Structure 1
Amino acid sequence: MAAAAVVLAGAAACGDGSNSIAGQAKRGDNKGYVAGNGQIEVIAPGKRKKPVALEGTALEGKAWSLSSARGQVVLLNFWGSWCPPRQKELPQLQSAWTRYRAAGAPVQFMGVLQKDSVTSASATAAKFGVRYPSLRDDGGKSLLGLQGKVVTVPTTLVIDKQGRIAARVSGESTETTFRSLVDQMLAEPAT
């Protein structure tokens, strides 16, 4: 049942072929485009797998790794400027990030580009006033260490303080959902 839900979510979000939804989005005609369903998966602490690895270079050229954020809750959002649901959720993510930053909460947000250029992503981030960083597209290498949890764009992962995947949202979501998931992980005791 869960595998079917993942396949459905993947089919409903942004793909990457010329006849895919993403290909249509790149053409700008939105013909046949279907948005993701925002399916949420929360993983109980005892069922979480080992910590995940992710590293890369931010759009601005600075190196970053998930291991440097150990002890904090990290929200990873996998995106492409070519994906309309992603553009819809950018203000939602920015608003959540701004609230955590203003509160001094131990939370990091990081975008992770998929099939996108630094120029397009930077322009999209500027257009929507996004201030949290994003990692450059690495040809999909970043997905290899994420336990198969990223199957479509946009996907958001919430990483617990131990570096483990604790929650996933497949498709577009809202600030309320992002904050609820991050707050849940912040409330967990550090071990």
Structure 2
Amino acid sequence: MTRAALAGFVVVALVGLGACSTDANSVAEQAKAGDNKGYVAGDGRVQQVAAAQRGAPVVLSGTTLEGQPWSMAADAAGKVVVVNVWGSWCPPCVEEQPHLQEVWSSMLAAKKPVAFIGIDTKESASTGLAFVKANGVSYPSISNDATQGQPMLALQGKASATPSTLVLDSRGRIAARVLGATTVSTLTALIDDVLTEQT
């Protein structure tokens, strides 16, 4: 590498370092904080992906909290799928749960081709099941406890915060995501945008 090229590389590297976020709520800063709260909270940031820019389909399957098999191929083929990563130990997850249930209930009532699946993480299936029963959650969740770590791997690294919500198009590709807690209005709008693509 020539001296001029090396100098240019150093300038680019320094500019890149200067661009790093110092936002205390960023995933990287929370991971470094060492406050042992047990989760990395998202900031509610919403990202939508244009159809032409979407990656490979998510291939998600697992065992529900009730001990039944669940897979996209068998249980959600051809539908828009909402995937929510949660845990009963996570305060933002608990706060957003009524919003998710409300959207799920409205999609069912409207007979829209939408499926919901939760991924309960970092706790036993029995603990997760107790939470969903106590809180009237009517859509299924897959257990992602220590013995079943595969469901999170299927999400292609796109669910880095707890909670995270992904909206998959009818081909199983990630069309939108929310890192952090979502709301009825945000999630409904994201789902409707993806449903509109199919008409």
TM-score (ref. length: structure 2): 0.79
Partner of 2:176: 167
The whole-number CA distance in structure 2 between the counterparts of 1:71 and 1:8 is 36
The whole-number CA distance in structure 1 between the counterparts of 2:97 and 2:28 is 21
Aligned pairs, number: 178
Partner amino acid, structure 1, of 2:121: Q
- Partner secondary structure for residue 121 of structure 1: helix
List per-residue Cα deviations over 1:57-113 (Å, max 9, x = no partner). Answer: 111111111223221000000011100000000000000000011111110011001
Partner of 2:152: 143
The whole-number CA distance in structure 1 between the counterparts of 2:20 and 2:56 is 21
For the 8 Å contact 2:25–2:41, the answer to whether it is kept is no
Partner of 1:85: 92
Partner of 1:178: 187
1:4/1:160 CA distance change after superposition, 3 Å: farther
1:46 equivalent among 24, 44, 52? 52
Matched, 1:113 2:113: no
Partner of 1:130: 137
List per-residue Cα deviations over 1:28-58 (Å, max 9, x = no partner). Answer: xxxxxx9531011100000000111111011
The whole-number CA distance in structure 2 between the counterparts of 1:135 and 1:3 is 35
Partner amino acid, structure 2, of 1:95: E
1:131/1:86 CA distance change after superposition, 3 Å: same
1:74/1:118 CA distance change after superposition, 3 Å: same
1:20/1:130 CA distance change after superposition, 3 Å: same
Query: What RMSD in Å do the two structures reach over aligned CA positions?
Result: 2.8
Sequence identity percentage: 43
For the 8 Å contact 1:79–1:113, the answer to whether it is kept is yes
Matched, 1:99 2:124: no
TM-score (ref. length: structure 1): 0.83
The whole-number CA distance in structure 1 between the counterparts of 2:179 and 2:144 is 19
In structure 2, runs of 5+ residues without a counterpart are 1-15
Which is greater in Rg? 2
Partner amino acid, structure 2, of 1:56: G
